[in-house]
Amino acid sequence: MSFPSARQIVAQRIIETTSRWAAGATLDEIRAGFVQLLRGPTPGEVDEVEFAGMRATWTHPPERKTAGIVLYLHGGGFQIGSPASHKSLICRLAAAAGVSILTPNYRLAPEHRFPAQVEDGLHVYKVLMAAGHSPEKIAIAGDSAGGNLALVLAQQARDLGLGQPAALALISPWLDLTLRGESYTSRAEKDIFSKPEALRAMARTYIGKGGDAAHPLANPLEASLANLPPMLVHAGDFDITLDDSTLLKARADAAGAACTLKVWPEMYHHFQVFAELPEAQESIEEIGAFLRQALQ
């Protein structure tokens, strides 16, 4: 008797969940379903707190290996997702890095449109520093839309003279809200998690009617990449946002910024959220090692 592989099990979960969403689920149902879809192991300790005027979580690893911290901005297309949906991913990352992670429950669209999410990320960063966390002991990380917000935050920290974080770790960052990359077409059938039509709708919801999808605070590829901290980017070869990562790497190299890109064969958009996948744990371990070294 043959048993389904981890990839098959995860794929079935994704297909079943996203099919329900496509059948006309409400936004509240989609948000709740996202939490269930991304469920997984949660090593360490998670404290629900209020930070910088918003709900947040502090995730502490089973073994702390650095005094630094990570500010994590979750994905979800700027309109779904929360510390609850990303609890497993963040716990596994905290354990791999040996670092405590702060995850704010930033405002979501359509209730709050751009630039509310950007403002929340910047506010949390300022409050962290006011609380005594020096920039060189803060790393910023995020997946998908959270990767967008993480890069925008580092650019703002540079432009406002706030002090740069120690490092940036981006997981399948969704950076180009105009969806100009060739991967949005070539990977449309291969990526079982994200589809171009869904991202187009999320981009419209985020920036609002008549909004500028190329605005540098919404599309960090349109802003300078010079004088940024070291970046590690992990993406999948089947990821429809892959070209965002490759363009980030090319433009960062041209600007003299340190950017390492790893593309995982046959993996789709932010596959790291699924703990069952061996590739997910390998990626998390590598990102954890990068963050731990940056925060030493």
Please, are residues 163 and 135 in contact by the beta-carbon 8 Å criterion?
A: yes
Comparing 8-22, 41-55, 252-266, the range with the smallest average pLDDT is 8-22
Is pLDDT at 1 greater than 60 in this prediction? no
Cis peptide before 173 (omega within 30 of 0): no
Query: What's residue 113's pLDDT?
Result: 97
Strand stretches in 74-228, DSSP E: 100-104, 138-143, 167-171
Q: CB–CB of 263/295 below 8 Å?
A: no
Other CB atoms within 10 A of residue 132 CB: 7
How far apart CA 114 and CA 28 sit, in angstroms, is 20
Q: pLDDT digits over 77-113, tens only? A: 999 999 999 999 999 999 999 999 999 999 999 999 9
Banded model confidence at residue 67, pLDDT cuts 50, 70, 90:
confident
pLDDT tens track for 151-210: 999 999 999 999 999 999 999 999 999 999 999 999 999 999 999 999 999 999 999 989
Element housing 165 (H / E): none
- Helix, strand, coil share of the chain (percent; to 5): 40, 15, 40
Of the candidates 54, 18, 59, the one whose C-alpha atom is nearest the C-alpha of residue 36 is: 18
pLDDT digit string, tens, across residues 135-150: 999 999 999 999 999 9
Q: What is the mean pLDDT of the chain?
A: 96
Q: Taking the CA atoms of 163, 125, 220 and 295 in sequence, report the sign of the dihedral they define.
A: positive
Beta strands in 91-192 (DSSP E): 100-104, 138-143, 167-171
d(CA 62, CA 95): 6
Q: How far is CA 193 from CA 14, 16, 34, 37, 199, in A?
A: 6, 11, 12, 11, 11
CA dihedral (110, 112, 118, 123) positive or negative: negative
| Element (DSSP H or E) covering residue 69 | strand 69-73
Nearest to 202 by CA among 114, 84, 271: 114
CA distance 242 to 4: 28
DSSP 6: H
Q: Which domains does the chain have, with CATH numbers?
A: 6-294 (3.40.50.1820)
Q: Is 287 left (phi over 0), alpha (psi -120 to 50) or beta?
A: alpha
Average the pLDDT over each of 15-29, 89-103, 146-160, 215-229 and give the range with the smallest value: 15-29
Identify the weakest region by mean pLDDT among 2-11, 20-29, 146-155.
2-11
Cβ-based neighbour number of residue 78 at 10 Å: 30
pLDDT value for 111: 98
Report the half-sphere exposure of 61 (CA within 13 A, side-chain side). Answer: 21
pTM here is 0.97
